[in-house]
């Protein structure tokens, strides 16, 4: 196999996004668009990836890290000029160079691979990935001759009326013979409507030299969408969502309403999981078989065990066991570990807490910085008072303890194994094992006081 290289164009300003955030970093399915391009290209065995950075260079570099090398384009003089910035890193190499745009994040590795193979088979010096679209507005048009061979690409702004009718467009993705590319780039001029050095002009130049140029037409326009504004961004989000959701459905996940279900690329879901409308799964979330998520639930970096049900809730960076019942309206905050066969009911917030197997926090409680044992019942309205304004303290509730309703547990404090805390208590001292602790004012009944008072 010949050497393979890639250049990703990511230096443009992205003016049409009207954003403080650099266009390349706008997320599609939760991941910056340029990252998608790198991720897909990494699947096709490249010797080197060079990303051209300019606007927002530091941030793009920070995002891509060691997955790419970088060349800096000081002034954005056009896509041809952009590729030329990789000259020092690439010009001595022999092989195939793929050029892709950082703003076309939906092109799959299979398509890159097919383009490279087509390029190698045709023995062309340049091959361009094209597609046909209903409305080619804004894209470069592919001009073919009588033999149906590619002659050149004309930008929308430079095209005449007839050329504007052409529906075959340049996707902005190409394969080149590396040395022919850098030689031809030297000849590109900026004599055009935008006064830019256009990369597509390389096609025309190679053609004039008598080199073979080919076009690989993909039937899937969706995949090649270029994101120049927020309308295209929303379109890309929709296409990516569909692609991800369909993959999970093929793997045996039921998605009740795929239009209303948002799953980021790294999420893993086992078969026989049911996702209800309004489910949002982010980061490195893993959902085990038989679980049922949603409606209206957002999980980020969570592991959810088998047959667990989570409704109308939010959970972040936590591990949730098997057969757990969560919600509606529960909030599981980072570093929590919710055991098997537990319950976290409505209006319960849990933070940095371990909840042992078979324990229940059923209603209206805040449990933070706590270590709760097994088979513990936390009554309605219990609060772990974990914060004194400066420091956070731990509450320990040992196995089989029973916390009565509306109790305050002032941390640091331990409620011993098997003991009871009476409802309405404010616990400030440790409770020994098997005790009953009552910490509330005694009730006094003043008989007939009400009738006297009314007179
Ligand atoms: C480009 C193509 C057009 C194609 C379309 C596909 C050119 C001249 N036109 O148009 O034929 O149909 O993509 O989406 O290539 N960039 C730089 N430095 C620059 C200019 C651009 O790095 O000086 C980068 C941009 O960040 C972007 C990519 O190159 O990622 C394409 O630039 P953009 O301005 O979006 O080109 P289009 O007008 O979309
Ligand atoms: Ca573009």
Dist. CA 227 → ligand 2 center (Å): 6
pLDDT per residue over 197-250, tens digit each? Answer: 999 999 999 999 999 999 999 998 899 999 999 999 999 999 999 999 999 999
The Cα-based distances of 152 to 144, 178, 196, 204, 355 in angstroms read 7, 19, 16, 5, 66
- What DSSP element (H or E) covers 450? helix 449-454
Which CATH number does the domain housing residue 186 bear?
A: 3.90.550.10
Does residue 271 form part of some domain? yes
Q: Is the CB of 179 under 6 A from ligand 1?
A: no
Average pLDDT across the chain, whole number: 97
Q: What are phi and psi of 180, to 5 degrees?
A: -65, -35
Give the largest CA-CA distance in the chain. Answer: 112
Determine the residue of 32, 176, 218, 226 to mutate for testing ligand 1's pocket, defined as the one with the most ligand atoms within 8 A of the Cβ atom. 226
Q: Let me know whether 334 and 427 are in one domain.
A: yes
Q: Is the CB of 173 under 6 A from ligand 1?
A: no
Q: Let me know whether 255 and 138 are in one domain.
A: no
Per DSSP, helices labelled H in 161-229 are: 161-164, 178-185, 201-208, 221-224
Does residue 401 form part of some domain? yes
C-alpha to C-alpha distance for 441 and 320, rounded to whole angstroms? 38
Does residue 109 form part of some domain? yes
* pLDDT on residue 435: 98
Q: Let me know whether 267 and 378 are in one domain.
A: yes
Does residue 318 form part of some domain? yes
Q: Let me know whether 98 and 216 are in one domain.
A: yes
Q: Let me know whether 117 and 252 are in one domain.
A: no
- What DSSP element (H or E) covers 329? none
Q: Is the CB of 142 under 6 A from ligand 1?
A: no
Q: Is the CB of 170 under 6 A from ligand 1?
A: yes
Q: Let me know whether 220 and 259 are in one domain.
A: no
Please check whether residue 313 is in contact with residue 324, taking contact to mean a CB–CB distance below 8 angstroms: no
| Cα 412 from chain centroid (whole Å) | 39
DSSP 401: -
Does residue 301 form part of some domain? yes
Does residue 420 form part of some domain? yes
Q: Let me know whether 276 and 181 are in one domain.
A: no
Q: Let me know whether 45 and 194 are in one domain.
A: yes
Domain termination site, one of 185, 209, 224: 224
Q: Let me know whether 36 and 180 are in one domain.
A: yes
Q: What are phi and psi of 439, to 5 degrees?
A: -135, 75
Q: Which residue has the tokens 């009944």?
A: 445
Does residue 451 form part of some domain? no
Domain that holds residue 270: 248-437
Q: What are phi and psi of 84, to 5 degrees?
A: -60, -25
C-alpha to C-alpha distance for 184 and 16, rounded to whole angstroms? 30
Does residue 382 form part of some domain? yes
Of the candidates 321, 367, 361, 327, which has an alpha carbon nearest to the alpha carbon of residue 341?
A: 321
Q: Which two tokens stand for residue 120?
A: 């190698």
Q: Which is it for strands 309-310 and 325-326: parallel, antiparallel or unpaired?
A: parallel
Residue 108 CB coordination number (10 Å) = 15
Please check whether residue 24 is in contact with residue 56, taking contact to mean a CB–CB distance below 8 angstroms: yes
Residue nearest to atom 8 of ligand 1 (CA): 198
Of the candidates 254, 298, 306, which has an alpha carbon nearest to the alpha carbon of residue 279?
A: 298
Q: What are phi and psi of 191, to 5 degrees?
A: -85, 80
- Supply angle C-alpha 20, 103, 106, rounded to 5: 130
* pLDDT on residue 2: 84
Residue nearest to atom 35 of ligand 1 (CA): 228
> Helix or strand or coil: residue 184?
helix
Close Cβ partners of 321 (under 8 Å, ≥ 6 residues apart): 305, 308, 338, 339, 340, 341, 342, 357
* pLDDT on residue 316: 98
Q: Which ligand is nearest to the CA of 24?
A: 1
Q: Is the CB of 52 under 6 A from ligand 1?
A: yes
Dist. CA 234 → ligand 1 center (Å): 19
Q: Is the CB of 140 under 6 A from ligand 1?
A: yes
Residue nearest to atom 22 of ligand 1 (CA): 11
Residue nearest to atom 3 of ligand 1 (CA): 140
C-alpha to C-alpha distance for 196 and 157, rounded to whole angstroms? 12
Which CATH number does the domain housing residue 371 bear?
A: 2.160.10.10
Q: Let me know whether 214 and 257 are in one domain.
A: no
Of the candidates 42, 37, 44, which has an alpha carbon nearest to the alpha carbon of residue 114?
A: 44
Domain termination site, one of 189, 224, 259: 224
pLDDT per residue over 267-281, tens digit each? Answer: 999 999 999 999 999
Of the candidates 39, 76, 33, which has an alpha carbon nearest to the alpha carbon of residue 232?
A: 33
Please report the atom of ligand 1 found closest to the CA of residue 53.
22
Please check whether residue 358 is in contact with residue 384, taking contact to mean a CB–CB distance below 8 angstroms: no
C-alpha to C-alpha distance for 346 and 366, rounded to whole angstroms? 11
Q: Let me know whether 260 and 134 are in one domain.
A: no
Q: Is 363 a catalytic residue?
A: yes
The domain tally of the chain equals 2
Q: Which ligand is nearest to the CA of 14?
A: 1
Close Cβ partners of 376 (under 8 Å, ≥ 6 residues apart): 355, 356, 359, 360, 397, 398, 399, 400, 401, 402, 403
User: What parts of the chain have a pLDDT lower than 70?
Assistant: 1
pLDDT per residue over 352-390, tens digit each? Answer: 999 999 999 999 999 999 999 999 999 999 999 999 999
Q: Is the pTM of this model over 0.85?
A: yes
* pLDDT on residue 455: 85
DSSP 230-299: HHHHHHHHHHHHHHHHHHHHHTT-EES-GGGEEE-TT-EE-TT-EE-TTEEEETT-EE-TT-EE-SSEEE
Q: Let me know whether 52 and 156 are in one domain.
A: yes
Q: What is the dihedral of CA 191, 194, 197, 200, to 10 degrees?
A: -100
């Amino acid at each position: 196999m010949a050497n393979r290289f890639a250049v990703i164009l990511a230096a443009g300003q992205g003016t049409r996004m009207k954003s403080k955030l650099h266009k390349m970093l706008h997320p599609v399915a939760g991941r910056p668009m340029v990252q998608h391009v790198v991720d897909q290209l990494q699947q096709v065995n490249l010797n080197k990836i060079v990303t051209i950075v300019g606007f927002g260079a530091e941030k793009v570099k920070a995002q891509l890290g060691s997955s790419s090398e970088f060349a800096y384009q000081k002034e954005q003089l056009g896509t041809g000029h952009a590729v030329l910035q990789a000259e020092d890193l690439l010009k001595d190499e022999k092989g195939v160079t793929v050029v892709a745009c950082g703003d076309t994040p939906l092109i799959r590795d299979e398509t890159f691979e097919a383009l490279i193979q087509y390029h190698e088979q045709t023995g062309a010096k340049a091959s361009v990935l094209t597609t046909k679209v209903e409305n080619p507005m804004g894209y470069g048009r592919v001009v073919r001759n009588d033999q149906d061979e590619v002659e050149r690409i004309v930008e929308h702004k430079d095209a005449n009326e007839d050329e504007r009718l052409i529906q075959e467009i340049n996707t902005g993705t190409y394969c080149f013979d590396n040395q022919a590319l850098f030689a031809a780039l030297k000849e590109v001029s900026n004599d055009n409507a935008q006064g830019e050095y256009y990369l597509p002009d390389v096609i025309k130049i190679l053609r004039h030299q008598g080199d073979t140029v080919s076009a690989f037409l993909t039937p899937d326009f969706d995949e090649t969408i270029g994101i120049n504004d927020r309308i295209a961004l929303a379109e890309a989000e929709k296409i990516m969502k569909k692609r991800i959701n369909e993959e999970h459905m093929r793997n045996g996940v039921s998605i009740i309403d795929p239009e209303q279900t948002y799953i980021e690329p790294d999420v893993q879901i086992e078969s026989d999981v049911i996702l209800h409308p309004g489910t949002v799964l982010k980061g490195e979330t893993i959902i085990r078989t038989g679980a049922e998520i949603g409606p209206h639930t957002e999980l980020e970096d969570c592991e959810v065990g088998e047959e667990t049900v989570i409704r109308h809730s939010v959970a972040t960076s936590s591990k949730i066991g098997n057969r757990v019942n969560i919600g509606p309206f529960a909030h599981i905050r980072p570093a929590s570990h919710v055991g098997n066969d537990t319950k976290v009911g409505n209006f319960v917030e849990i933070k940095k807490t371990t909840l042992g197997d078979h324990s229940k926090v059923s209603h209206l409680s805040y449990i933070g910085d706590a270590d709760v044992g097994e088979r513990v019942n936390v009554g309605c309205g219990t609060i772990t008072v974990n914060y004194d304004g400066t420091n956070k303290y731990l509450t320990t509730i040992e196995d089989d303890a029973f916390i009565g309703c509306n109790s305050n547990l002032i941390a640091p404090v331990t409620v011993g194994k098997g003991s009871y805390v009476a409802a309405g208590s404010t616990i400030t001292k440790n409770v020994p094992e098997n005790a009953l602790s009552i910490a509330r004012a005694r009730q006094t009944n003043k008989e007939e006081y009400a009738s006297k008072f009314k007179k």
